[in-house]
Amino acid sequence: MAISKHTAIGFINGKQEAIEKVYLEYKNLMYFVIATYVNNQDDCDDILSESFLKAVEHREELKDPDKIKTFLCTVAKNHAINFLKKNRDIPSSDVIDDIYGEEDRINPILNMIEPLLSNKETIIVYLRVIYSYSWNEIVEETGIPESSARRIYSGAMDKLRKELL
């Protein structure tokens, strides 16, 4: 059962009763969309809450009340994908021996930066500085999007400058 156009307009206008009706009507669909990306129930519950709150915050961007279902599904999908990007596992520096070889464990640069940076930062800085990897190679190796890898690298280099200078 879809909600009425009147309820959708009430949602867009921020009417509490309409927001509650929209939530009750579409929460299962939004959860399904999220669950197609995220396998953990607790994470899905959290993402659903965050997604719906974001949808309410940005409700005025919905110009056509007939598209409320698409709007909510898009918000849910984007939150699920962002969650995956933020929580993507990449190799930790604890297993750097397995990735790059035993000789890297005694590399003085690695020993100096590892305590100062997170695992992601250490891996990205190490790939970029020691191995001169291109951004495309870093993306391939870690699975992190290039823009995120560049941001992580920049932040890590700022940390190192502050700590080492």
pLDDT tens for the 165 residues of the chain, in order: 578 989 999 999 999 999 999 999 999 989 888 887 788 888 899 999 999 999 999 999 888 998 898 899 889 988 988 888 787 655 444 444 444 444 444 456 666 777 788 878 888 887 888 778 899 888 887 778 888 889 999 999 999 888 877
Residues 68 and 64: their CA atoms lie apart, in Å, by 7
Matching residue, tokens 């999908």: 77
Residues 93 and 96: their CA atoms lie apart, in Å, by 5
Tell me the CA distances in angstroms from 117 to 53, 112, 120, 133, one per residue in order. Answer: 33, 10, 8, 19
pLDDT of residue 117: 81
Residues of the chain with CATH 1.10.10: 93-164
Residues 87 and 64: their CA atoms lie apart, in Å, by 34
DSSP secondary structure letters along 38-89? ---HHHHHHHHHHHHHHHHHTGGG---GGGHHHHHHHHHHHHHHHHHHHT--
Q: Which CATH class is domain 5-86?
A: mainly alpha
For residue 53, the one-letter residue type is L
Residues of the chain with CATH 1.10.1740.10: 5-86
The answer to whether domain 93-164 has CATH 1.10.10 is: yes
Please indicate, yes or no, whether the overall pTM of this predicted structure exceeds 0.85: no
